[in-house]
């Protein structure tokens, strides 16, 4: 397994990480435990979750599953999502963060978080208040590193400049949606992360499964898939033009002895700003497949050919 530094920090993360949005929802504890054990077995160390995943069960399941293996994994969780009704139940105020971090620590059954991320920007709380609170958590030892997710480029820059001016702990990572199909972050977010030394942790690297090849031209989305319950997204994504590109990518990968999952991950990892690709898994064999995908290193010629194919997305 290959490891990279998380941005400009000294933290080493596996180039493929585990996304856990399905834990506590689509997956019960027994399924979760099998996946987590396989993560450790194949050498992945980044496990990414949120206090909101699985209505808090994701953190609970992970905490139980990593018992006795805490030193082999990096636990990354998030704060900001709605956690209840009424005031102060969401966002990044000092009150909400301080309450939620202790709840996350308890559910994960650990006394520290390797990475604590702001899940969404909070327009109602000054970034200084958020950063001062996160800085306190680092100084207290409850949190080792801090990051953000779903931030615009200007919001990342604002946070980094504020941290610099006030001598506060800076973000070391940003977690945006990023894939061969969804490249919006390349306009501002990725250059901003590169300039400030943040490592990118892409989520949805397979574009809701489209890049796996599970969806077929002229056929409805299979039951149980993300697009099956979203007809609007399916109609905009499952077009003949997009299938033309997908089939070209599948041929590109097959000619080189690789799968589409391999290609999707390798393409992201060809970007030096990417530290670890966050990929979900519901079965141990998917963990193994994802881990192997991180072994393929695309050449400059490969990337040039792919640029031509990807330019045709609609």
Q: Catalytic residues, which ones?
A: 53
d(CA 286, CA 35): 9
State the burial class of residue 301 (Cβ atoms within 10 Å of its Cβ: 0-12, 13-18, 19+): exposed
The pair of three-digit structure tokens given for residue 33, joined into one six-digit string: 């435990």
CA 73 – CA 114 distance, rounded (Å): 9
Dist CA 78 CA 115 (whole Å): 8
Query: CA-to-CA distance for 213 and 88, rounded, in angstroms?
Result: 43
Distance CA 141, CA 38 (A): 29
Residue 289 tokens read as 């497949």
Q: How many angstroms separate the CA atoms of 109 and 70, rounded?
A: 10
Q: What angle do CA 76, 259, 243 make, to 5 degrees?
A: 100
The Cα angle at residue 34 between residues 29 and 38, in degrees rounded to 5? 145
Q: What span, in angstroms and rounded, lies between the C-alpha atoms of 46 and 244?
A: 34
Q: Give, for 266, the enclosing helix (H) or strand (E).
A: helix 260-269
Residues 92 and 78 sit within 8 Å (Cβ to Cβ): no
Please tell me what DSSP assigns to residue 170: P
Contact indicator for 112, 144 with CB cutoff of 8 Å: yes
Say which DSSP state 216 is in.
Answer: -
Question: Nearest to residue 83, comparing CAs of 64, 59, 67?
Answer: 59
């Amino acid at each position: 397994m290959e490891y990279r530094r998380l941005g400009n920090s000294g933290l080493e993360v596996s180039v493929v990480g585990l996304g856990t949005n399905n834990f506590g929802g689509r997956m019960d504890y027994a399924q979760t435990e099998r996946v987590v054990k396989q993560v450790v077995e194949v050498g992945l160390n980044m496990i990414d979750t949120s206090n909101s995943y699985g209505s808090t069960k994701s953190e609970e399941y992970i905490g139980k599953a990593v018992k006795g293996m805490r030193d082999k994994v990096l636990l990354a969780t998030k704060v900001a999502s709605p956690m209840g009704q009424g005031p102060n139940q969401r966002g990044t105020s000092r009150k909400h963060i301080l309450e939620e971090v202790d709840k996350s620590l308890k559910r994960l059954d650990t006394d520290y978080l390797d990475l604590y991320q702001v899940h969404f920007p909070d327009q109602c709380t000054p970034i200084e208040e958020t950063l001062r609170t996160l800085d306190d958590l680092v100084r207290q030892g409850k949190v080792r590193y801090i990051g953000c997710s779903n931030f615009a480029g200007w919001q990342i820059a604002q946070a980094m400049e504020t941290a610099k001016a006030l001598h506060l702990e800076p973000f070391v990572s940003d977690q945006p949606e990023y894939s061969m199909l969804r490249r919006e972050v390349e306009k501002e977010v990725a250059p901003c992360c590169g300039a400030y030394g943040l490592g990118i942790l892409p989520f949805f690297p397979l574009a809701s499964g489209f890049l796996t090849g599970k969806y077929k031209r002229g056929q409805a989305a299979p039951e149980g898939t993300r697009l099956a319950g979203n007809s609007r997204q399916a109609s905009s994504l499952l077009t003949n033009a997009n299938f033309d590109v997908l089939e070209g990518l599948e041929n590109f990968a097959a000619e080189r002895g690789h799968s589409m999952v391999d290609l999707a991950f390798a393409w992201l990892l060809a970007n030096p700003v990417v530290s670890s690709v966050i990929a979900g898994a519901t079965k141990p064999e998917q963990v193994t497949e994802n881990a192997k995908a991180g072994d393929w290193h695309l050449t400059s010629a490969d990337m040039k050919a792919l640029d031509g194919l990807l330019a045709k997305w609609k």
